[in-house]
Amino acid sequence: MIKKILIGLGVVLVVIQFFHPEKNLSDDRTYDVSTKYAVPEEVKSTLKVACDDCHSNKTEYPWYSNIQPVAWFLDHHVVDGKRHLNFSNFTSRPIAYQNHKFEETIEMIKEGEMPLPSYTYFGLHSGAKLTEAQKQILISWAEANMDSLKANYPADSLVMRRPQGPPPAK
């Protein structure tokens, strides 16, 4: 019985190797954060090593991304990361959204939530483990951009508005 289960499991593992998600390789940066905001070299290099794999249109895939089910796991993280924040299409979004994402970036870095711990497990992506200096550089960059937005836009245009639901029933 155990032999049949192991053979079945082996067949499933072989078969799933033929099904891969689409890779995040477009590198379309038409609306990249750098098209509107100054991105100093130290910020750019930190974003590249610690953020861009999940928060841009260009992921640098490791060798193990070609093995299922790991590829699905990685794809889920990239899709989810881009859903929350995509630096490659950042300036296509409303000003309030951009301001909010800078604010969230600061919060996530301060709370140690980004990059995800799973991104650096087992020594993988060791360069993505942010030092205190790197954290402060990213926080200062995001704060400076928020200050610039506050100086150039009316305060009410920088506030994210929740969509209004239908009016209450009478």
**Is the confidence at residue 103, as pLDDT, over 90?**
yes
Residue range 29-62, pLDDT digits in tens: 899 999 999 999 999 999 999 999 889 999 888 8
Q: How is residue 168 written in tokens?
A: 């209450």
Pairwise CA distance, residues 60 & 55, whole Å: 12
> DSSP of 56-106, one letter per residue?
SS-----GGGGSTTHHHHHHHHHHHHHHH--GGGGGGS-HHHHHHHHHHHH
Q: What's the whole-model pTM score?
A: 0.82
pLDDT band at residue 96 using 50, 70 and 90 as cut-offs: very high
